[in-house]
Structure 1
Amino acid sequence: MRTHGWGGAPPADDDEARDRILTATRTCLAATGTARTSDVAGALGITRQTVYRYFPTTEDLLNAAAMAAVVELQHDLTADVRRHLAAGADAADAVVEVVAFVYEHLRDDPALSRLLAPGRIAGTLAGLTAPSSIQLGRSLLAGFGVDWAAQGWDPDRQRELVEHLLRTLQSLVLDPGDPERSGAELRGYLQRWVAPALRTVQQTGLP
Structure 2
Amino acid sequence: MARRRGWGGQPPVDDDEASRRIVSTAVDLIGRTGSAISIADVAESLGVIRQTVYRYFPSADVLMKAAAIASVDDFLDRLARQVRGIEDPAEAMTEGVVYTLAEVRRTPHLGILLTGTYPNVHPDGITSPEARAFGMTMIRRFDVDWERHGYDDDALGELVEYVLRTMQSFFVSPGNPPRSDDELRGYLRRWMGTAIMAQTRRSASN
TM-score range relative to shorter protein: 0.7 to 0.9
User: What is the distance in 1 between the residues matched to 2:195 and 2:16?
Assistant: 45
Query: Gaps (5+ residues) in structure 1?
Result: none
Q: How do residues 33-44 of structure 1 correspond to structure 2 at under 5 angstroms?
A: 33=35, 35-44=37-46
User: What is the distance in 2 between the residues matched to 1:33 and 1:67?
Assistant: 14
1:183 pairs, out of 175, 181, 184, with 181
Q: 1:44-69, CA deviations, whole angstroms, 9 ceiling, x for partnerless residues? A: 123334323323x4xx2x12332124
Q: Secondary structure at the match of 2:105?
A: helix
The answer on whether the counterparts of 1:128 and 1:166 sit within 8 Å (CA) in structure 2 is yes
Q: 1:9 to 1:100 in 2, by over 3 A?
A: same
The answer on whether the counterparts of 1:77 and 1:98 sit within 8 Å (CA) in structure 2 is no
Q: Secondary structure at the match of 2:151?
A: coil
The answer on whether the counterparts of 1:26 and 1:65 sit within 8 Å (CA) in structure 2 is no
The answer on whether the counterparts of 2:89 and 2:144 sit within 8 Å (CA) in structure 1 is yes
Alpha-carbon distance, 1:176 to partner: 0.9
Q: Are 1:171 and 2:169 an aligned pair?
A: yes
Q: 1:167 to 1:38 in 2, by over 3 A?
A: closer
RMSD, aligned CA: 3.3
The answer on whether the counterparts of 2:23 and 2:63 sit within 8 Å (CA) in structure 1 is yes
Which one has a larger percent helix, Structure 1 or Structure 2? 1
Query: Higher mean Cα deviation, 12-21 or 125-134?
Result: 125-134
Q: Secondary structure at the match of 1:7?
A: helix
Q: Secondary structure at the match of 1:65?
A: helix
Q: How do residues 90-129 of structure 1 correspond to structure 2 at under 5 angstroms?
A: 90-112=88-110, 115-118=117-120, 121=121, 124-129=122-127
The answer on whether the counterparts of 2:23 and 2:67 sit within 8 Å (CA) in structure 1 is no
Alpha-carbon distance, 1:204 to partner: 5.8
Query: Gaps (5+ residues) in structure 2?
Result: none
Q: Compute the TM-score of the two structures, normalised by the length of structure 1.
A: 0.73
User: What is the distance in 1 between the residues matched to 2:125 and 2:51?
Assistant: 33
* Residue identity matched to 2:68: V
Query: Higher mean Cα deviation, 167-176 or 96-105?
Result: 96-105
Please name the residue that 1:22 is paired with. Answer: 23
Q: 1:75-109, CA deviations, whole angstroms, 9 ceiling, x for partnerless residues? A: 24432342244334532222113322332333332
* Residue identity matched to 2:21: R
Q: 1:100-145, CA deviations, whole angstroms, 9 ceiling, x for partnerless residues? A: 2332333332445561334xx2xx2333135664455334433445
Q: How do residues 27-106 of structure 1 correspond to structure 2 at under 5 angstroms?
A: 27-28=28-29, 31=33, 33=35, 35-55=37-57, 57=58, 60=59, 62-72=60-70, 74-106=72-104
User: What is the distance in 2 between the residues matched to 1:39 and 1:173?
Assistant: 25
Q: Secondary structure at the match of 2:55?
A: helix
Please name the residue that 1:153 is paired with. Answer: 151
Alpha-carbon distance, 1:153 to partner: 1.0
Q: Compute the TM-score of the two structures, normalised by the length of structure 2.
A: 0.73
Q: 1:4-50, CA deviations, whole angstroms, 9 ceiling, x for partnerless residues? A: 43213333432232222233334445539564544422321233343
The answer on whether the counterparts of 2:12 and 2:18 sit within 8 Å (CA) in structure 1 is yes
2:135 pairs, out of 134, 137, 157, with 137
Runs of 4+ in structure 1 over 6 Å off: none
